[in-house]
Amino acid sequence: MIFVTVGTHEQQFNRLIKEVDRLKGTGAIDQEVFIQTGYSDFEPQNCQWSKFLSYDDMNSYMKEAEIVITHGGPATFMNAVSKGKKTIVVPRQEQFGEHVNNHQVDFLKELFLKIELDYILNISELENIIKEKNISTSKVISQNNDFCFSFKNEHFINYLNKYILLEKKIEINISIQSIC
């Protein structure tokens, strides 16, 4: 089973949902698929779906799934990775009206330097990565302090300072110690 989740961000993620539904419809995906569609307005025709799921239902689908395809929100993809699931991350992108900026893309690029993680920026790559069947099942560092320590570098701190503020017009200094 493939479980797809786009999270609860208030912008659509039709690009991912349409592609998964298309792949299921053409037979490129031969497994059962369940999609949590969130605020997207596209309704899948070839997959089971629900707009939102409870935390328990989300975990249930994730446990059942062989593959988890998820947005770039760290809490969701790290949950799948920590369960040892084959995880494909498709970050929301500003250019498609999926988020207010590209922080999910930037975070994944930085994280990819630390752990092996499959993520795609071009939705047309999804079919090939699913067919390869050798999707990473890397486990992340299980101790929060160790995981946070792996990100203690100036480049990552600068990343956090840039995106934690988003569009606020205030100046703050953030250190990894203050969030871990």
Extents of the domains making up the chain: 2-140, 141-180
Q: Which structure tokens are listed for 26?
A: 């053409």
**Share in percent of the chain as helix, strand, coil (round to 5):** 40, 10, 45
2-140 placed in CATH 3.40.50.2000: yes
Give residue-wise pLDDT tens across range 71-104: 988 889 888 988 889 999 999 888 888 988 888 8
Share of the chain above pLDDT 90, in %: 46
